[in-house]
């Protein structure tokens, strides 16, 4: 951490002499500490999966979800500070509502991602605020088919075929690259997603985690919902079994 | 008589006082300066909506006409609107206000989905929401000029007392049917009709349905509905022989394609002052 | 004159009327240690019956029952707001608001809308803190008084004279050496209530279908006997000690 002690990392409104904004990079660290989140864009749908690290056994299962719905057909998953994730989801909901209000139809994800990007970026400009400590994966299926985007703490956003953020993102990306995403069916994608989350969790085995999987596509009537129970259980069993045979 | 042209009002173009040369205190008034316009009367209107309870749920019907005064302006307008999976809202009155209500309900449902709390709005909750909206607007003297029927069928959940620690939801199906209008007036009954239908069809419905709500099958209900729609088409000059029927049962909402009424007008030839006779 | 020009050129618009009348009648009679509050259940507009069952009488607490009559949408909203205020009171003070305080609250709430009134006539019945039966009646803007009996609504003009005669003994003279009673027993009051509504149903088109009679009885009252084995009676008391509330439901003619 060459930045520490130089004084250039105290504010998001200050560049370092070599043109970096350390506060944004620190925000990136907050994301790296978080449980892994992946998103898959497959043949006719989107699958989101989260490694939800359980920090207390007293938490009610399934009560603290990391995958959120912002509109009928748009799902959002965050890695990083949970509270910032809630904030971004609420902002996304407002953006969707205002698009609906204006155009009387479901918003396009591209527009929402752009507007959220602007919002996140605004928090990199001032010394009075801190940047968002999250990366956000957004997915949708609309008349143009599925699409998947990631917004980073800097406010930059990209579209992806497969995305991974959080602690295990490197391994997850490697695994995603091995898949023929454009040929996978939705249910196959759910199984793969579960397998990858279980796999990347191997590095943090001492912590408990809860797998969360949602999808959007023909199987879910093109709404964003958590996957049905049977499929979820099947995915968990198969993921555990795959761990045994891995490496 | 006001002799100052600047006080006569003007349209929003800058034909008068193009360069704003009048002193502020006597600046020409915009004709929109009087403030916002509120709905004073309905413009494009739908006529009656009918609904009643039957054994397995609720049946609702409305024709597909939107009139412009006495002109049959739009002949393929859907006036039955599904809200979520258990509720249908049927509307008479101003169609633009109804479209606004549809937008409100759509956002309401999206918000409900986004909450991800495993709660879906019941027909009773949707009706209460609409009553509050309608009453609030009438209280602003800016009403939404509609008569609405809300029909639904929702699984209420009762907890099994045997194992309170892990309560299994016991499904209880509840039929719901209620009315709300531009004044915020609400009521509920086993047969309901709005507009002209309240005068023409409601008595027929009461005779056919009251005390048989638990017996009537869907087929029987459909027959009753068709009979009433037919009478309305014969008698209501703002109606159409094309209509849709919604059925709301435990299996959810089903809104039919538009059906055409089979009517006969041969009797008209014998009526004097109508049709082909010359004297 | 700028004003007259406007009047001459603007088209005359028939403006929106935010009120309507939904018919029906309510009444309440206070006894020495009980109170009876009743209303029919028909809701109508013009010549159309909207529904045969729309309650106009509402239990507020175990010692207060409110009947509302006039414009139904205003009535329902008003009851909703009164109930909300009573709930807040309960949260703040851990007890039910006394009926005389409810009466004053209702006045305040009605008068707050003096220039866009709730178009409703309210009658509040129940048990006072000293255990006596009470009836408070209001006009739409909050003017109120405590009375022994009051009828309101569509058939007020039919029912009130009857009550004046039968409860206040107006136009009657007592037999020599006797006096009219200050309060009638419940067994005399209930038939009067039922007769009031059957008569109003006969002569007024907006009254009928169903009758709901609420009876609030002070704790330890002798009126309890004879009430429990009445036809169609149902207890709706919320707490275990203190006043008790009952509803009696009867059919009225539906024509």
pLDDT in tens, B89-148: 999 999 999 999 999 999 999 999 999 888 889 999 999 999 999 999 999 999 999 999
pLDDT at site A246? 64
Q: Do C72 and B39 touch (CB under 8 A)?
A: no
Does residue C230 register a pLDDT over 70?
Answer: yes
Q: Do B189 and C76 touch (CB under 8 A)?
A: no
| Chain B contact for C77 (CB, 8 A cutoff) | yes
pLDDT band of C55, cuts 50, 70, 90:
very high
Does residue C1 register a pLDDT over 50?
Answer: no
pLDDT at site B20? 65
Q: Do chains A and B touch (3 or more CB pairs under 8 A)?
A: yes
Helix (H) or strand (E) holding C191: helix C186-203
pLDDT band of C2, cuts 50, 70, 90:
very low
Q: Do B202 and C48 touch (CB under 8 A)?
A: yes
Q: Measure the CA–CA gap between C55 and A164, rounded to whole angstroms.
A: 59
CB pairs under 8 A between A and B: 26
Q: What is the mean pLDDT of residues A237-242?
A: 94
Q: Measure the CA–CA gap between C53 and B186, rounded to whole angstroms.
A: 12
Q: Do chains C and A touch (3 or more CB pairs under 8 A)?
A: no
| Chain C contact for B198 (CB, 8 A cutoff) | yes
pLDDT at site B266? 84
Does residue B165 register a pLDDT over 90?
Answer: no
The two tokens of residue C45 are 């507009």
Tell me how close the Cα of B216 comes to any Cα of chain A, in angstroms: 33
Q: Measure the CA–CA gap between A163 and A128, rounded to whole angstroms.
A: 32
Which residues, 6+ apart, have CB-to-CB distance to B179 below 8 Å?
A: B147, B148, B149, B150, B185, B186, B187, B188, B192, B194, C50
Task: Kindly list the residues from chain B whose CB atom is less than 8 angstroms away from the CB atom of residue C116.
Answer: 139
Tell me which residue in C15, C20, C52 faces B185 most closely, judged by beta carbons.
Answer: C20
pLDDT at site B154? 83
* Chain B positions with Cβ closer than 8 Å to A: 103, 106-107, 110-111, 113-114, 116
pLDDT band of A162, cuts 50, 70, 90:
very high
Does residue B273 register a pLDDT over 50?
Answer: yes
Q: How far is CA B241 from CA A127, B264, B274, in A?
A: 68, 11, 20
Query: What are the two backbone dihedrals, phi and then psi, of residue C107, each rounded to the nearest 5 degrees?
Result: -55, -50
Q: What is the mean pLDDT of residues B26-34?
A: 60
Lowest mean pLDDT among A232-246, B259-273, C5-19: C5-19
Tell me how close the Cα of A96 comes to any Cα of chain B, in angstroms: 10
pLDDT band of A63, cuts 50, 70, 90:
confident
Length in residues, chain B: 279
B245 vs C9, residue with greater confidence: B245
Q: What is the mean pLDDT of residues B212-239?
A: 96
Tell me which residue in B141, B184, B186 faces C16 most closely, judged by beta carbons.
Answer: B141
Task: Kindly list the residues from chain C whose CB atom is less than 8 angstroms away from the CB atom of residue B2.
Answer: 1-2, 5
B28 vs C226, residue with greater confidence: C226
Q: Do B183 and C1 touch (CB under 8 A)?
A: no
Best B83, B114, B165, B166 member to test A by mutation, with max A CBs in 10 Å, is B114
pLDDT in tens, A82-117: 999 999 999 999 999 999 999 999 999 999 999 999
Q: Do C51 and B38 touch (CB under 8 A)?
A: no
Tell me which residue in B103, B106, B114 faces A93 most closely, judged by beta carbons.
Answer: B114
Q: Do B110 and A97 touch (CB under 8 A)?
A: yes
Q: Which residue of A has its CA nearest to B104?
A: A101
Tell me how close the Cα of C39 comes to any Cα of chain B, in angstroms: 16
pLDDT at site A245? 80
Tell me how close the Cα of C202 comes to any Cα of chain B, in angstroms: 21
Q: What is the mean pLDDT of residues C131-152?
A: 98
| Chain B contact for C116 (CB, 8 A cutoff) | yes
Q: Measure the CA–CA gap between B230 and B243, rounded to whole angstroms.
A: 10
Beta strand pairing status for A145-151 and B80-83?
Answer: unpaired
Does residue C96 register a pLDDT over 50?
Answer: yes
pLDDT band of B276, cuts 50, 70, 90:
low
Tell me how close the Cα of B113 comes to any Cα of chain A, in angstroms: 7
pLDDT at site A207? 87
pLDDT in tens, C59-86: 999 999 999 999 999 999 999 999 999 9
Residue whose token pair is 């898959």: A40
Does residue B157 register a pLDDT over 90?
Answer: no
Detail the DSSP E strand segments found in chain A.
Answer: 37-42, 45-54, 67-71, 74-80, 134-142, 145-151, 157-159, 162-165, 208-216, 225-226
pLDDT at site B272? 74
Lowest mean pLDDT among A53-57, B80-84, B137-141, B187-191: A53-57
Tell me which residue in B107, B113, B116 faces A100 most closely, judged by beta carbons.
Answer: B107
Pair C72, C206: CB distance under 8 Å: no
pLDDT at site B158? 54
Mean confidence (pLDDT) of chain A: 94
pLDDT at site B41? 84
Which residues, 6+ apart, have CB-to-CB distance to B210 below 8 Å?
A: B190, B191
For domain A22-246, the question of CATH label 2.40.30.200 is answered with no
Q: Measure the CA–CA gap between C183 and C189, rounded to whole angstroms.
A: 9
pLDDT at site C15? 80
pLDDT at site B164? 46
pLDDT in tens, A184-196: 999 999 999 999 9
Q: Do B143 and C1 touch (CB under 8 A)?
A: no
| Chain B contact for A104 (CB, 8 A cutoff) | yes
Q: Measure the CA–CA gap between A180 and A40, rounded to whole angstroms.
A: 11
Neighbours of chain B (3+ CB pairs under 8 A): A, C
pLDDT band of C169, cuts 50, 70, 90:
very high
| Chain B contact for C14 (CB, 8 A cutoff) | yes
Q: What is the mean pLDDT of residues A205-234?
A: 94
Estimate the share of chain C in helix, then strand, then coil, as percent rounded to the nearest 5.
30, 30, 40
Task: Kindly list the residues from chain C whose CB atom is less than 8 angstroms away from the CB atom of residue B135.
Answer: 73, 77
Q: Do B110 and A100 touch (CB under 8 A)?
A: yes
Domain spans, chain A: 22-246
Q: Do B114 and A71 touch (CB under 8 A)?
A: yes
| Chain B contact for C5 (CB, 8 A cutoff) | yes
Task: Kindly list the residues from chain A whose CB atom is less than 8 angstroms away from the CB atom of residue B166.
Answer: none
Asked whether the CA dihedral B140, B142, B147, B150 is positive or negative, the reply is negative
| Chain B contact for C52 (CB, 8 A cutoff) | yes
pLDDT in tens, B51-96: 999 999 999 999 999 999 999 999 999 999 999 999 999 999 999 9
Which residues of B are marked as active site?
39
pLDDT at site B4? 63
The two tokens of residue A19 are 């043109």
Q: What is the mean pLDDT of residues A48-65?
A: 91
Neighbours of chain C (3+ CB pairs under 8 A): B
pLDDT band of B11, cuts 50, 70, 90:
very low
pLDDT band of C18, cuts 50, 70, 90:
very high
Tell me how close the Cα of C230 comes to any Cα of chain B, in angstroms: 26
pLDDT at site A73? 96
Tell me how close the Cα of A67 comes to any Cα of chain B, in angstroms: 10
Mean confidence (pLDDT) of chain C: 93
């Amino acid at each position: 951490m060459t930045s520490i002690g130089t004084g250039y990392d105290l504010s998001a409104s200050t560049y370092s002499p070599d043109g970096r904004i350390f506060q944004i990079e620190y925000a990136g660290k907050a994301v790296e500490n978080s449980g892994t989140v992946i998103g898959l864009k497959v043949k006719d749908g989107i699958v989101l999966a989260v490694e939800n690290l359980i920090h207390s056994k007293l938490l009610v299962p399934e009560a603290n979800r990391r995958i959120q719905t912002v509109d009928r057909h748009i799902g959002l998953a965050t890695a990083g500070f949970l509270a910032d994730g809630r904030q971004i989801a609420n902002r996304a909901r407002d953006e969707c509502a205002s698009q609906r209000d204006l155009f009387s139809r479901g918003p396009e994800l591209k527009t929402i991602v752009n507007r959220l990007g602007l919002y996140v970026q605004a928090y990199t400009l001032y010394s009075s605020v801190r940047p968002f400590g999250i990366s956000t994966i957004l997915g949708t299926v609309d008349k143009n088919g599925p699409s998947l985007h990631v917004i980073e703490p800097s406010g930059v956003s990209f579209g992806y075929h497969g995305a991974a953020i959080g602690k295990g993102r490197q391994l997850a990306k490697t695994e995603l690259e091995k898949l023929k995403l454009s040929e996978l069916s939705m249910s196959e994608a759910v199984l793969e997603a579960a397998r990858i989350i279980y796999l990347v969790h191997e590095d943090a085995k001492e912590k408990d985690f809860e797998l969360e999987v949602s999808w959007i596509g023909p199987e879910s009537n093109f709404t964003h919902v958590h996957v049905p129970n049977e499929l979820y259980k099947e995915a968990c069993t198969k993921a555990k079994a795959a761990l045994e045979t891995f490496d | 008589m006001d002799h100052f042209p600047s006080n006569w009002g003007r349209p929003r173009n800058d034909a008068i006082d193009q360069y704003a040369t009048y002193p502020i205190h006597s600046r020409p008034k915009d004709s929109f300066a009087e403030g916002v316009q509120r709905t004073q009367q309905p413009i494009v209107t739908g006529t009656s909506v009918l609904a009643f309870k039957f054994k397995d749920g609720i049946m609702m019907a409305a024709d597909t006409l939107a009139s412009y005064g006495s002109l049959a302006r739009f002949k393929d307008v859907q006036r039955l609107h599904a809200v979520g999976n258990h509720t249908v809202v049927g509307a008479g009155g101003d169609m633009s206000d109804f479209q606004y209500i549809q937008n409100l309900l759509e956002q309401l449902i999206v918000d409900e989905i986004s909450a991800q709390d495993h709660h879906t709005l019941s027909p009773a909750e949707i009706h209460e929401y609409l009553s509050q909206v309608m009453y609030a607007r009438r209280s602003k003297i800016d009403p939404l000029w509609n008569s609405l029927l809300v029909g639904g069928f929702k699984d209420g959940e009762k907890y099994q007392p045997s194992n309170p620690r892990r309560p299994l939801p016991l499904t209880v199906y509840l039929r719901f049917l209620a009315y709300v209008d531009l004044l915020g007036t609400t009521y509920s009954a086993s047969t309901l009709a709005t507009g002209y239908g309240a005068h023409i069809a409601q008595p027929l419905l009461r005779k056919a349905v009251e005390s048989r709500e638990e017996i009537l099958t869907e087929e029987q209900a459909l027959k009753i509905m068709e009979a009433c729609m037919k009478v309305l088409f014969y008698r209501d000059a703002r109606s159409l022989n094309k209509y849709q029927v919604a059925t709301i049962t435990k299996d959810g909402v089903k809104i039919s394609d538009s059906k055409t009424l089979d009517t006969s007008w041969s009797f008209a030839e014998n009526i004097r002052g109508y049709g082909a006779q010359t004297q | 004159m700028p004003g007259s020009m406007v009047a001459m050129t603007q088209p005359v618009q028939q403006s929106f009327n935010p009120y309507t009348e939904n018919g029906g009648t309510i009444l309440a009679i206070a006894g020495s240690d009980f109170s009876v509050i009743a209303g029919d259940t028909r809701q109508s507009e013009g010549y159309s019956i909207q529904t045969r069952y729309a309650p106009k009488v509402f239990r507020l607490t175990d010692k207060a029952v409110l009947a509302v009559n006039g414009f139904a949408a205003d009535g329902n909203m008003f009851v909703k707001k009164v109930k909300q205020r009573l709930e807040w009171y309960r949260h703040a003070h851990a007890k039910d608001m006394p009926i005389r305080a409810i009466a004053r609250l209702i006045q305040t709430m009605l008068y707050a809308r003096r220039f866009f009134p709730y178009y409703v006539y309210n009658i509040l019945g129940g048990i006072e803190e000293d255990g006596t039966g009470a009836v408070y009646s209001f006009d739409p803007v909050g003017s109120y008084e405590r009375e022994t009996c009051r009828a309101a609504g569509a058939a007020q003009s039919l029912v009130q004279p009857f009550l004046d005669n039968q409860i206040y003994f107006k136009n009657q003279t007592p037999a020599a050496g006797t006096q009219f009673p200050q309060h009638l027993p419940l067994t005399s009051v209930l038939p009067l209530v039922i007769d009031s509504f059957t008569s109003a149903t006969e002569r007024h088109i907006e009254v009928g279908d169903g009758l709901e009679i609420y009876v609030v009885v002070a704790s330890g009252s002798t009126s309890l006997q004879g009430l429990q084995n009445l036809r169609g009676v149902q207890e709706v008391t919320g707490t275990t000690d203190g006043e008790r509330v009952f509803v009696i439901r009867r059919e009225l003619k539906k024509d």
